[in-house]
Amino acid sequence: MTNEFIIVLAAIMIVFFIFYSLYADQWINSRQSSEKIAAMSTAIKIRNAINYVYLAGDGTTYNTSYRVGDMNISIHDGVVWAQTNVAAYYVPLLTSNINTTSFHGGEVVIKNNKGLIEIA
């Protein structure tokens, strides 16, 4: 191998590693953004369902579902928290009179039982 070939090969490798590091950084940013959007939309969806059932009054039932994946939903102090591995988002509720603090799973049934919001 000649010296020119080794220099060109080294330059190509340097350019490749620079572009690869830029791509990897953007991919990580994109993943974090999509996880935050998923957490935000899930928290808002559950908040809207709970507030709807609360405002509609006793006996109201609402069925909804959300992305299961690695998301954790918790409710405490009148706030819905949606957490993933890289993002978390919270939204306030109209009531803190809820019988559960944490749940998993895609299908959720929300019921108003004399002002107490039950989530199954």
Q: What letter does residue 88 receive in the DSSP assignment?
A: E
pTM for the predicted model, two decimal places: 0.77
pLDDT value for 50: 93
Bridge pairing between strands 102-103 and 72-76: antiparallel
Question: How many CA atoms within 13 Å lie on the side-chain side of 49?
Answer: 21
The confidence score (pLDDT) of residue 105 equals 65
* pLDDT tens digit at each of 120 positions of the chain: 688 899 999 999 999 999 998 898 899 889 888 888 988 988 899 999 999 999 999 999 999 887 767 788 889 889 999 988 888 899 999 998 998 777 776 788 899 999 899 988
Contact predicate 42/81, CB 8 Å: no
Angle, alpha carbons 111-113-114 (nearest 5°): 145
3-state secondary structure of 58: coil
